[in-house]
Structure 1
Amino acid sequence: MVVITLAVVALLLALAFVAERVLKKDEAGGSFKVRKLAMVAMFSAISAVLMLFEFPIPFIAPGFYKIDLSEVPVIIGAFALGPVAGIVIEFVKILLNLFINGTSSAFVGEFGNFVVGAAFVIPASILYFAKKTKKRAIMGLVAGVITTTVIGCLVNAFVLLPFYGAAFGGIDKIIAAGTAVNPAVNSVFVFCLIIVAPFNIIKFSIVSVITVLIYHKISYLLKMGK
């Protein structure tokens, strides 16, 4: 799993780096300046703290699916600094959370969180980075919600649910937890379709709305010292 995680991180960083180079807006000239590194560290720390404050959404998903707002600093950092910085912030956030809550099961869960978060950050930040307007920001966020919903279903179906099913007494127990929320849940596929997909749509839509509301108001602060 460690090797797979590192390979995924490398692939996503490469994708983000290529996107920045194609768009020719890598203002750091291909390297992080001190200010940029400081901002990445700041956004990562804020994100890690926000991960500690999570809440369930009853009637939508079982209690072990919880929403947090840690993606807000990640996407704001990606909008301000570029897709590469966004992936780095996402990864550092996950590492910090693992340091705080590090277990073998947490590692697999955080791998899933990283992939799902990156699936939101990459399309959103690339679209915004190409043309920095409010319209493009909204387009990017909508694209990110769609992408992360699809990727979230795949990650849950093929990685997270099988792992946690094996670790905690069988996949049937997880499906039963979904059935308790929605009687229509009778398989992993249906679980992902009517539990995981709505959960991610709600979570990342909330993140998107908050980002639209606050990014313009704080963007001038992020540009200070350039």
Structure 2
Amino acid sequence: MNKLMQTVTENVAYVVIFLAVIVGCFLVSVVLEKGAQKKNGISEPIFNTRKLAMIGMFSAIAMILHVLDFPIFFAPGFYKMDFSELPILVGSFAFGPVAGVMMEFVKVLLKLCIKGTSTAFIGDLANFVVGCSLIIPASAVYSFKKTKKSAIIACIVGTLVMTVFGTAFNAVYLLPAFSKFYGMPLDAILAMGAEVNPLAKEGSIVSFVVACVAPMNLIKGTLVSVVTLLIYKPLSPIIKTGHKA
């Protein structure tokens, strides 16, 4: 915990950016959830005691899956795959976009408290915002119309948004930020991608993110979506006991 506080102090700018992104994600999710409630004629608070308890449980499961990340063969070693969005997508289908963002936030917070950060919060910001780019659109689509067909559409939309957004976010912000943090020229980072993936042309950030980042997000979103579609309905009666939606 002391190490985390020291890192916070040393990297105030990244912390401020992180907090601004979190607030932005919450505001978007609140607007979408309220719109879905109005469309479906539902009037209830965004949070209640049971929902908060379930958010805590799903966040803890997500944190464990987040810690159990692993490298992928077609990208440099600093990219890791994890399936922490699986319990969060299930929970957000049950309780809405705001709960999904809350679970993403608590997951990252728990991970920071347990393991700290080795990337000045850059990697943690990436995990949060890219996770939200799957969770927010998917849960919003499903919240407006809760049918099997809309669940499939929701997962497809969420996966596509995460793939496109995550790819662009890496090119525009994350890779330059990693370059600055590690004091490593951006070309050197891109060369690392070219070493493990022949489709990533050396010196080209576009080919790097298309060859290394886009497939990772597409695979992750697809697998998380498929498993969610298989397990959500059997789990739904248990998860939503006492919940109106």
Which residue in 1 is equivalent to 2:58? 43
Q: For residues 49 and 16 of structure 1, what CA distance do their matches in structure 2 show?
A: 24
Q: For residues 199 and 134 of structure 2, what CA distance do their matches in structure 1 show?
A: 28
SS in 2 for 1:103: coil
Aligned pairs, number: 225
Shift of 1:27: 5.8
Which residue in 1 is equivalent to 2:8? none
CA contact (8 A) 1:157 1:188 kept: yes
1:161 aligns with 2:178: no
Residue of 110, 131, 135 corresponding to 1:121 = 135
My pick for the range that moved more, 187-196 or 158-167, is 158-167
TM-score by length of 2: 0.86
Which residue in 1 is equivalent to 2:231? 214
Q: For residues 84 and 208 of structure 2, what CA distance do their matches in structure 1 show?
A: 25
My pick for the range that moved more, 134-143 or 180-189, is 180-189
Which residue in 2 is equivalent to 1:205? 222
CA contact (8 A) 1:98 1:106 kept: no
Which residue in 2 is equivalent to 1:175? 190
Residue of 25, 29, 38 corresponding to 1:12 = 25
Q: For residues 199 and 55 of structure 2, what CA distance do their matches in structure 1 show?
A: 43
Alignment of 1:129-148 (within 5 A): 129-148=143-162
Q: After superposition, what is the alpha-carbon deviation per residue over 1:88-135, rounded to whole angstroms, capped at 9, x for unaligned?
A: 101111111111221361511110111100000011001101111111
TM-score by length of 1: 0.93
Shift of 1:17: 1.0
Q: For residues 34 and 28 of structure 1, what CA distance do their matches in structure 2 show?
A: 16
Which amino acid counterpart does residue 52 of structure 2 have in structure 1? L
Residue of 68, 81, 91 corresponding to 1:53 = 68
Change (3 A) 1:80 1:74: same
CA contact (8 A) 1:149 1:197 kept: yes
My pick for the range that moved more, 76-85 or 100-109, is 100-109
SS in 2 for 1:51: helix
My pick for the range that moved more, 28-37 or 137-146, is 28-37
Q: For residues 114 and 67 of structure 1, what CA distance do their matches in structure 2 show?
A: 14
Structure 2 unaligned blocks of 5 or more: 1-13
Shift of 1:164: 1.8
Change (3 A) 1:108 1:27: farther
My pick for the range that moved more, 97-106 or 66-75, is 97-106
CA contact (8 A) 1:26 1:82 kept: no
1:196 aligns with 2:210: no
